[in-house]
Amino acid sequence: MIAAQYKITLPSDYDMQIIKARVKKNAYKTDGFQDLKFKLYLITEKGINDNNQNSYCPLYLWKDSSGLNKFLFDGFYDNILNSFGWQRVNVGIPLIDTTSSNFTESNYLYHITGRIQPQESLLNLKAKIAQELPVLENTYYLVTYNPDKWEYEAFYFLTDLDISKEVNGVIYKILHISQ
C-alpha cells in the first residue's frame, strides 16, 4: 500500500463553499477507483478547530502503486493541476493500519506528525512509534512513514471532536469518503 496527499493552501478570505460544492459535484468520480482503498476529501477552514488557514488536502490510501500511477498520469490529476496549479504530492508507506469499514462513519481526521531520529537500529521502531502515539479511545487510525524525510504521520478517524487539545495536530473536516 501507499498513501498520498497533496495540500493546497488557499487564501484566508477564500470562500470554502467553492470547495464544498466542488466535492459535492465531483467526489463520486473516485468511488470505486482502481486500487483505491480510500480517498478522504479533507478541508481546513481558518478559525475553525484552531486552524489558521483554509486548505483542501485530499488523502489517498492506495492498495498498490498502479492505482496512484493511473490517477496521476492518465489525466485524472489534471483537474487539480488546472484548478490549483502544480502541487507537491507527499507519499507515505503504511506502518500501522487499524481502519476497517466502520471508519466511513468518521466526520473528522486528526493529523499529527513525528520525527524518526537517527539511531543504531530500526528494530522495533513500529512498536516505539505505537507507544509514542496519543491514545484516542474508540478511533481508527493510520500511521505512515517516509524514509526520505524520516518522518511519520498519524491520521485518526473521528466521529466527533472530543479529543485532547494537549497534542499538536491538524483537524480536517471530512467532506466525502471514496472507496
Residue 161 to residue 110: CA distance in whole angstroms: 9
pLDDT digits (tens, 9 = 90+) for 42-72: 999 999 999 999 999 999 999 999 999 999 9
Whether this prediction's pTM lies above 0.85 is answered by: yes
**pLDDT recorded at residue 67:** 97
pLDDT reading at 165 higher than 70: no
**pLDDT recorded at residue 164:** 60
pLDDT digits (tens, 9 = 90+) for 97-115: 988 777 888 999 999 999 9
DSSP string across 108-162: EEEEEEEE----S--TTHHHHHHHHSPP-TT-EEEEEEETTTTEEEEEEEESS--
Q: Where do the domains of the chain lie, and which CATH numbers do they carry?
A: 2-178 (3.30.70.100)
